[in-house]
Structure 1
Amino acid sequence: MELFDLYLALFLAFLKIGLFGFGGGYAMLPLIQHEVVETHNWITVADFTDIVAISQTTPGPIAFNSATYIGYTAVTEMGFSSFQGIFGSAVCTLAVSIPSLIIMTVVCAFFARLNNNPWMRASLSILKPAVIGLIAAAALMLVNRYNFVDYKSWIIFGAVFLASYKKVDPILLILFSGVAGLILY
């Protein structure tokens, strides 16, 4: 495969992922896997699993991190240089972000026109409690018997719950959690 053809295929695949991947990064993972593993065979399932793990640990949205890593890996696995792989990363990251950028630009322009409209303000004020409810529902879904199997889980839950009310420094919380993990597990 020619390098330009590979770049074009990567761009179109990630443009499609960015356009049809609703629901955020984790909701996009099956679509990303379908495109890069099953349709184009750019990477293996094992590589995809590694990419997801790496993308979770690096800062930024998982879809962008995955696109960046997949672009590099797909190009270098085809025998091209590391520099060409870096350009493949840029192509994939740009392609996955273009749909969001265009949609948000249009929505912001539309919203700016209607910002002072009383109907728009009423609609947004109605949505605020709904958003809070959705976030609370997602949090409550995590509180189940599979996540709290022993006393250690309850200790960690209680400590995090208390820390959220006491405004503990996040760095200290991370360090404390690491030490607690070493001791308890």
Structure 2
Amino acid sequence: MRTLADRLARGDDSAFAELYDACADRLYRFAVARLGSADAAADVVQTAFMRAVKSRRQFRRVENPIAYMFQIARNEAIRTASVPGWKAEPVAAEGLAATDDEEAADDTEALRTALRRLDDDDREIVELKSYSGLTFAEIAELTQRPPGTVATRYRRALESLRGWLAKEFSQE
């Protein structure tokens, strides 16, 4: 990762293409989960990469370029959601489910509803782990929490989700 960071800091176009290929889809899924809007998520990813290119010299101090991109995207998603009048658009599993199967889309929507029941911090940890595939160490770096705390909160959040989903689906 250090070599990639050095190439990015020098403004190597192929390094930015490599970084994009490595994380753009994951950034998008995270942003969709965070914002509930496919259009806003696409804007977040585009803005994150534009910011990375503009401030490419920052990569000299970056150990993990992918985690750094998630930090930029996370900050941009927070900015987007804090605009007065911002309202997330319903995204019927767009960007989250990798299928057109109606039943799978319903399951994904149930999961999104369950995720909204978690507090913001726990929801973000679950989204970063599940939709973005980040490690606990990367999530810890991103959220400024100890890795053990991140892992514990993740497990606790999953237990909460399991309980809520089991109750929800047993009523059908």
Report if TM-score (shorter chain) is over 0.5: no
Q: Which has the higher contact order (CA 8 A, sep 6+)?
A: 2
Larger Rg: 1
TM-score when scaled to structure 2?
0.30
TM-score when scaled to structure 1?
0.28
Point out the structure with the larger helix share.
1
